[in-house]
Amino acid sequence: MKPNQNQLVTGIAILVFSLIVLACNRPVNNPPEERLMSTPPPPDPKTVIERGKYLVNIGLCHDCHSPKVFTDQGPEPDGTRLLSGNPADMLFKNFDPALVNEGLVLMNPHFTAFAGPWGVSYAANLTPDATGLGSWNEENFLRAMREGKYKGLTNSRDLLPPMPWHYYRLMSDEDILAIFAYLKTLKPVRNIVPAPGSFTAG
Ligand code: HEC
């Protein structure tokens, strides 16, 4: 028996309606396990550390915070004391403050010590030694990188140039904390960085 026109139209309408209902309901009908799987998994600590390393490399932290070895290709970060800051015994010598008053900015050959209109500054030890970031927590690190506060403490002095925290502050919390996680994996290097302003006459 052939279906009449009315039956055909009703059949097609029911089919279209069922398809629409199916399409709309699909995500809602997913079993809970399936829905959980579609939310991103928590970051794998190893991946976080890898990202931190990547950001430290492209963010030029080594340029100022790692003492250098001098090769035919020029200065390179000293692999035995990465990111340990300006060495304790390496002070500006015979520094004449009149030079910076004349508008010069000076730098040592390791790019870890600087003198400019702000005075003399030495790059900090970022290794997890007690003389570096050993006692820091994530909050301290976020505050140092976001607000430019020495030791990441609320009431401490402002960080001196040329630490470019005004730019680093634009990073997401996630990225700043990935850097911190990576720094915590470095070899701890004992090095008490000279206080800002210090130099030797000899
Ligand atoms: C152009 C040079 C320069 C670069 C690049 C640089 N820093 Fe610094 N940084 C400094 C100097 C100099 C100081 C010390 C400032 C002071 O004593 O006030 C410092 C201080 C810091 C401090 C504060 C340490 C403390 O004891 O309070 C942190 C944290 C820090 N830098 C992290 C970083 C990280 C992470 C990077 C890379 C993403 C980086 N810096 C790149 C020059 C630099």
Under 8 Å between Cβ of 126 and 183: yes
Between 18 and 100, where is the model more confident?
100
> What is the spatial distance between Cα 113 and Cα 96, in angstroms, rounded to a whole number?
15
> What is the spatial distance between Cα 190 and Cα 187, in angstroms, rounded to a whole number?
10
Q: What angle (nearest 5°) sits at the alpha carbon of residue 124, between those of residues 88 and 103?
A: 90
Q: What is the pLDDT confidence band of residue 141, given thresholds at 50, 70 and 90?
A: very high
Q: What is the pLDDT confidence band of residue 137, given thresholds at 50, 70 and 90?
A: very high
Q: Which of 163, 171, 182 to mutate to test the pocket of ligand 1 (most atoms within 8 A of CB)?
A: 163
Q: Is the pLDDT of residue 44 over 60?
A: yes
| Token pair in block for residue 3 | 């279906």
Q: Is the pLDDT of residue 35 over 80?
A: no
**Which is the closest atom of ligand 1 to the Cα of 111?**
2
Under 8 Å between Cβ of 133 and 84: no
Q: What distance, in Å, lies between the first and last C-alpha atoms of the chain? A: 113
Query: Is the link from the previous residue into 27 a cis peptide, with omega within 30 of 0?
Result: no
Whether 151 is in the pocket of ligand 1, judged by its Cβ within 6 Å, is yes
Between 77 and 40, where is the model more confident?
77
Q: Is the pLDDT of residue 30 over 60?
A: no
| Token pair in block for residue 90 | 């390496």
Q: Is the pLDDT of residue 28 over 60?
A: no
Under 8 Å between Cβ of 143 and 153: yes
Task: Quote the distance between the C-alpha of residue 18 and its chain's center.
Answer: 52
Q: What is the pLDDT confidence band of residue 9, given thresholds at 50, 70 and 90?
A: low
Task: Quote the distance between the C-alpha of residue 199 and its chain's center.
Answer: 30
Q: Is the pLDDT of residue 69 over 70?
A: yes
- Cα of 163 vs centre of ligand 1, distance in Å, is 4
